[in-house]
Structures are given as C-alpha cells and as structure tokens.
Amino acid sequence: MNCPEYLDISAHVDGMLDPAERLRLDTHLRDCPHCRRRLEQLQLLRRDLRALPMPTPGVDMATLIGQRIGADRRSRRRAERRFWISWGAPGLGVAASLAIGIWLGALLGVGALGAAPGLTMHVFDPVPPGGLCAATELCRASKGLQ
Amino acid sequence: MMRTLAHLDDLECAARARGGDGKAFAALVTRHQGRIYRFLLRLLHSPDDALELTQDTFLHAYQGMAGWRPEATFKTWLFRIARNLAFDRLRRDKLVSFVELDEGTDPPDPSAGPEALAETAERLRLLEGALQRLAAEHREVLLLREIEDLSYDEIAAVLNLNAGTVKSRIARARAALLAQLSPMTEVAR
C-alpha cells in the first residue's frame, strides 16, 4: 500500500487539503491502520497543545507601554530643548551677525558707488593743497568756480 | 473610554492609533498582550525577557504605525515584530539552536506516540518540556499554528515564507515534537 506523505496527514489535521486530496486520504485511512495511528497522534498532540496553560503577563501592559511612550516623548523633547539651548542661541547670534554684516556691507557699497561720480581730482591744479592763490581768477577757473 | 473602543475591530483601532489616538493604541495593547506574551514566553523560556520583549513589540509597533498597511492584519504584524525581536535576543544570547531545516526530506516516523501517558497534567508537563527542547524554528511554527490558531497564510506572513513551506515545516515540527515525546512515553510505561 502506498501511504500518503506525512505532511498530507498533517495538513489534513489542519483542514488544509483540497476536496480531492481529502477524499483520497480518507479512502486510504479506512484501510491503513498505520496512517490512522499517525492521524490520531497528531490529533491528540493538537488537543494537548491547546490544553497547555495560557500564561498572562500579570501586569497592565497598556499602562506600562503608555508610560514608556510618555517617557520616550519627554526625553525626545528634552533632547530637542538641549539642542536649541546648545546650538540654537549661538546659531542665531552667528546668523544675526552675518545678516548685519551683509546689510552694512551692502549699505557702504552702495554709498561708495553713489559717491564715486562726485569724487573728482584736479591733477593739474596749479595751487597745491593749502597753498595761496596768487591770481583769484585763475584759481576759480581751475576749480570750475565762477 | 476603553469600553467605547471595545466594539471596534483591529483595523479601526489601528487607523485611529495611526492618527495619534493613544486610547485606540492602548485598546490594541490590551487586546493582544496575552497572545504576544505567551508566544514570547515559550520562545524565550524566560518570563522577564518575555515581559520586556512584549513591551518592546508594542513600542516598535507604536513607532512604526505610520508604516503599517491594512493588507497585513495587525495581529500577524505584531507576531512578526515579536518573532524578530525574540530571534535577535536568542541570537544575542546564543540560546537558539539553528538546525538545518531541510524541507525536502521525510520527517522521522513518530511511531511511539504520547497516548500511553495516562495523567493529563503529567502529559502536559512533559509536552511543555518537549516543546522547549525543539529547535526554535519548529517551536515558533507550532506555537503559531496550534496555540495561536493562525492560518497557513497568516503564518507565512509572520515568518516571511510561502504557504507550501509553512505546510511542510508544520508537519516536520509535529513529527519532531512527537519524536521528543516518544522516549518519555517509553519511560512513563
């Protein structure tokens, strides 16, 4: 007699055979005491496994986990606060300094550029700076004064 | 408040928990803590470790709620987290016996069964002991099938296996457990 594979008997216990497989196995079981014994062993094993004690944690897990989640959240918030205290204030100071520096630089730059056309040099001024002008008309003319 | 959530199924509670509803998550913890704890207890053999990893399982679940998809049931998702944490712990403590699970060969013939054990309490005590001596991969699949009553598809999702492998692994685990019980049966006679 060709006995079915052990895993088919196991699947039979779980009701996992399709109808054709199940019919074939049931037919075989009627004539095979060896396979019937295997099936009975597996059914007894299942019954005993399901009769094992069902231990419980004995504590309210929801409360414990709620506390751990709360503690986790608080420590994360503390870490964030520490980060801002350690790096936030100095960082803001540096950023503000940079911004002021750029603003002042831009201001001076624009001022300098704006003033540039007004700065004219009289390279060929006949009177040196601080010198006395001998002929007022000439000096006025050389400085563009009327 | 908890009472008002009792009528909601896992899917609805998980959806609320994803939206930040702490009460909904607490309801899920209350609902599943027993099965996760006893699964871990029998995998790890240590009440302290089982208690710690049960908490860790729910914390991981809480932190990963955004990644949970309703295609996987919340229960199988929890078992998957718990199982991974347990195997990490067993590996770390080198308590796991990684047997080569050759899914292709025939399992041993458990000819001498446990039926001769007369006293139920004694039989269950021996069964508990035999379960502890099984390879972790065999033990977990039996716990999920026989005690937690997960379907083959659910077990496949927890263990990341295909259903065919689950079917053969369950058969082999049962054969291994019966083989563990056989010598004791002889002694008990």
**Per-residue DSSP letters for B97-126?**
------TTSPPP---S-GGG---HHHHHHH
pLDDT of the residue at B111: 53
Tell me the percentage of chain B whose pLDDT exceeds 70.
81
pLDDT of the residue at A54: 92
> CA B128 to CA B142: how far, in whole Å?
12
CB atoms within 10 A of CB A89: 10
Q: Does residue B155 surpass a pLDDT of 70?
A: yes
**More confidently predicted of B122 and A45:** A45
Say whether A132 sits in a helix, a strand or coil.
coil
Q: Does residue B109 surpass a pLDDT of 50?
A: no
Say if CB B111 and CB B183 are below 8 A apart. no
Per the prediction, chain B carries an average pLDDT of 83
Residues of A in contact with B54 (CB under 8 A): 57, 61
Say whether A56 sits in a helix, a strand or coil.
coil
Cβ distance of A10 and B127 shorter than 8 Å: no
pLDDT of the residue at A107: 81
Cβ distance of B124 and A52 shorter than 8 Å: yes
Give B53: exposed, middle or buried? Use CB within 10 Å, 0-12, 13-18, 19+. buried
pLDDT of the residue at B30: 92
For chain A, the 3-state helix, strand and coil shares in percent, each to the nearest 5, are 70, 0, 30
pLDDT of the residue at A66: 84
Say if CB B32 and CB B81 are below 8 A apart. no
Question: ipTM value of the model?
Answer: 0.80
Query: Which amino acid type is present at position B140?
Result: E
> CA B163 to CA B90: how far, in whole Å?
25
Q: A136 vs A131, A133, B184, CA distance in Å? A: 12, 6, 134
> How far off is chain A from B70, nearest CA to CA, in Å?
22
pLDDT of the residue at A119: 53
Q: What is the pLDDT of residues B13-39, one digit of tens each?
A: 888 888 888 888 999 999 999 999 999
Q: Does residue B183 surpass a pLDDT of 80?
A: no
pLDDT of the residue at A87: 76
Which of B65, B56, B104 is closest to B84 using CA atoms?
B56
Across the range B142-153, mean pLDDT stands at: 96
Across the range B87-107, mean pLDDT stands at: 63
Q: Does residue B170 surpass a pLDDT of 50?
A: yes
Cβ within 8 Å of residue B40, ≥6 positions away: B49, B50, B53, B54, B57, B82, B85, B86
Show the low-confidence residues of chain A (pLDDT under 70).
Answer: 1, 110-129, 138-146
Give B86: exposed, middle or buried? Use CB within 10 Å, 0-12, 13-18, 19+. buried
- Which residues 57-76 of A have a C-beta within 8 angstroms of B? 57, 59, 61-62, 64-66, 68-69, 72
pLDDT of the residue at B103: 45
Which of B40, B45, B46, B80 is closest to B60 using CA atoms?
B80
A90 and B CB contact within 8 Å: no
Query: Which amino acid type is present at position B65?
Result: M
